[in-house]
Chains A and B, each alone.
Chain A
């Protein structure tokens, strides 16, 4: 199939050796090419349209939000309303940033140490622990949120940043450990052996050699950690509805008795979405691998 399509996008060779055959294939190729282009455009539309529509709505004046027109005078009203206006979400924005940063700062060092151990050592329980780490991906969020609801109630930690950071670790630490293990596996072991022969200790080795070498992997892990914490919805609805609420949960406050405030909702949605879109484009190649926990090569 590849061969066929490659030929389809290249200009037809001048004076082919078998003119009869070439003439017979060409109309098919042309039809195939057109069909593929149309299908690609359809995919592009499917992928991008909801994002574009949300972005468009965010800049619409209140009078145009409920129309499907694309011609309007863009305004920043919706952003003004959610950042300091009537339905101020700036506090949730700050919460989201704080919680995602803290979760990442705590998770990455823990995960890097564990990933290094999984990659470089064989020890009793090695395989079982790796499988257990993959298995955490299958746990439903409610099962984790419920015990923390009662625990944090007893400790007086409901609706605090700390509670969300702790619970987010359940998502991020196993995931990033697995991701980083893959990266450390790819580092040449010879460098470590040479450094060890030169009398380099374990701590120095990790800090001076592994960390810089694994920097691209650490960057990818930071992005994933951010993404998971930033988009998380179930834990904050359970544990932090008001004071420590994050942006995705704060969207709920725009669902008002008289209806959904779609203009401000779209503007807030853009705030939630844009940083993650930008980051995900940076680590695009690692997404598929990260999602399947390394099963897909």
Chain B
């Protein structure tokens, strides 16, 4: 689209930057500024309940503190477990949903249309409603599971460290698996029927057809979905506060929740900023992987 002569090109560039300016200013003020500011704060001692002004520079002290802090390691471990559980469940169930619904018919058309609903529910509200449904005394899911799997009768879902993490993950799986199903249905739709017909003519069983034909063709899309889901799992916050509040004990205290607690409850802005920058760095690695796989996909 660039023109060959240089003055009009320069003019066009000026016009482009003029269009970009308002949005860029907004983005710089609301993301670049706070990120930079948090980085600077992470090198300072600053407790809001002690001083209004930022305190002395302490260098990397607060990062060192994090890496000697057992509660930080705990939340890093919780975040890792939570991410793996929710990625595996969301993507697995999402794939099942896509494979089941990938056919014509009125019932599957209706179901496809409704797949989007859970995702539109505010995560904070998801947390509350799952907490309600998993209450061991009056929760409806607790009841149902007790009927289907009688050995779960005595489980206090949110009081047990393992199950609390699972219920927390399920709040997110509920929102994401149908959405992932929707994305994968799009991917399945773009696989030409001839490829699969050819496989069947060659005598492939449905199982072979899935592993040898469908799955390899879906793999790039699945990869992107896995990265995306992992990022959103590492960032999880809303449901943690509304489902378990980090408990029992610290069993569901994710990194983001830990940073929030340090900043909001203990008003230790310096330490909280250091933790949030550690999350930024972790997500930065995931973002790089995501962007690389995305540009590779574009190149194809």
Q: Which B residues touch A281, using CB under 8 A?
A: 113, 116-117
Q: Which B residues touch A57, using CB under 8 A?
A: 132
When the two chains form the complex, which single residue of B41, B111, B119 contacts A280, counting CB atoms closer than 8 Å? Answer: B119
- The answer, yes or no, to whether B283 is at the interface (CB within 8 Å) is yes
- The answer, yes or no, to whether A26 is at the interface (CB within 8 Å) is no
User: Cβ of A140 and Cβ of B276 under 8 Å apart?
Assistant: yes
Given A47-B111, A146-B41, decide whether A114 and B103 contact each other with a Cβ distance below 8 A. Answer: no
Given A110-B23, A142-B263, A296-B221, decide whether A53 and B241 contact each other with a Cβ distance below 8 A. Answer: no
- The answer, yes or no, to whether B291 is at the interface (CB within 8 Å) is yes
User: Cβ of B41 and Cβ of A150 under 8 Å apart?
Assistant: yes
Q: Which B residues touch A146, using CB under 8 A?
A: 34, 38, 41, 259, 263, 269, 272-273, 276
- The answer, yes or no, to whether B82 is at the interface (CB within 8 Å) is no
Chain A proximity of B222: nearest CB distance (Å): 11
Residue of chain A at shortest CB distance from B39: A143
Chain B proximity of A191: nearest CB distance (Å): 15
Chain A proximity of B39: nearest CB distance (Å): 9
Main SS of the interface on chain B? helix
Residue of chain B at shortest CB distance from A232: B122
Once bound together, how far apart are the Cα atoms of A263 and B285, in whole Å?
43
- The answer, yes or no, to whether B22 is at the interface (CB within 8 Å) is yes
User: Cβ of A280 and Cβ of B116 under 8 Å apart?
Assistant: yes
* Interface bin, chain B: 35 or more
User: Cβ of B279 and Cβ of A133 under 8 Å apart?
Assistant: no
Residue of chain B at shortest CB distance from A35: B100
- The answer, yes or no, to whether B219 is at the interface (CB within 8 Å) is no
User: Cβ of B31 and Cβ of A1 under 8 Å apart?
Assistant: no
User: Cβ of B186 and Cβ of A265 under 8 Å apart?
Assistant: no
User: Cβ of A237 and Cβ of B264 under 8 Å apart?
Assistant: yes
User: Cβ of A142 and Cβ of B103 under 8 Å apart?
Assistant: no
Q: Which B residues touch A149, using CB under 8 A?
A: 263-264, 269
User: Cβ of A120 and Cβ of B231 under 8 Å apart?
Assistant: no
Residue of chain A at shortest CB distance from B97: A43
Q: Which B residues touch A131, using CB under 8 A?
A: 291
0 or 1 for each of A92-120: is its CB under 8 Å from B? (1 = yes): 00000000000000110111011011101
Interface centre among A1, A44, A252 (most CB of B within 10 A): A1
- The answer, yes or no, to whether B24 is at the interface (CB within 8 Å) is yes
User: Cβ of A129 and Cβ of B224 under 8 Å apart?
Assistant: no
- The answer, yes or no, to whether A202 is at the interface (CB within 8 Å) is yes
- The answer, yes or no, to whether A288 is at the interface (CB within 8 Å) is yes
Residue of chain B at shortest CB distance from A133: B27
When the two chains form the complex, which single residue of B13, B108, B123 contacts A40, counting CB atoms closer than 8 Å? Answer: B108
User: Cβ of A144 and Cβ of B259 under 8 Å apart?
Assistant: no
Interface centre among A166, A174, A252, A284 (most CB of B within 10 A): A284
When the two chains form the complex, which single residue of A142, A147, A174 contacts B41, counting CB atoms closer than 8 Å? Answer: A147
Q: Which B residues touch A143, using CB under 8 A?
A: 34-35, 38, 273, 276-277, 279-280
0 or 1 for each of B1-32: is its CB under 8 Å from A? (1 = yes): 11000000000110111011011101101110
- The answer, yes or no, to whether A83 is at the interface (CB within 8 Å) is no
User: Cβ of B263 and Cβ of A66 under 8 Å apart?
Assistant: no
When the two chains form the complex, which single residue of B117, B260, B284 contacts A277, counting CB atoms closer than 8 Å? Answer: B117
- The answer, yes or no, to whether A248 is at the interface (CB within 8 Å) is yes
User: Cβ of B19 and Cβ of A248 under 8 Å apart?
Assistant: no
Given A40-B111, A173-B30, decide whether A2 and B260 contact each other with a Cβ distance below 8 A. Answer: no
When the two chains form the complex, which single residue of A144, A251, A288 contacts B34, counting CB atoms closer than 8 Å? Answer: A144
**Can you report 25 A-B residue pairs in the complex whose CB atoms are below 8 A from each other?**
A1-B206, A2-B196, A47-B115, A54-B132, A66-B138, A68-B138, A116-B19, A121-B19, A129-B20, A131-B291, A133-B27, A139-B280, A141-B256, A143-B279, A146-B276, A167-B30, A169-B30, A173-B26, A231-B121, A233-B124, A237-B241, A248-B125, A279-B120, A280-B120, A288-B186
Q: List the 3 closest A-B pairs by CB distance, nearest first.
A: A114-B23, A170-B30, A121-B16
Chain A contacts to B: CB under 8 angstroms: 1-6, 8-9, 36-37, 39-41, 43-44, 46-48, 50-51, 53-54, 57, 65-68, 106-107, 109-111, 113-114, 116-118, 120-124, 129, 131-151, 153-154, 166-167, 169-170, 173-174, 177, 202, 227, 230-231, 233-234, 237-238, 248-249, 251-252, 260, 262, 265-266, 269, 272-273, 276-277, 279-281, 284, 287-288, 291-292, 295-297
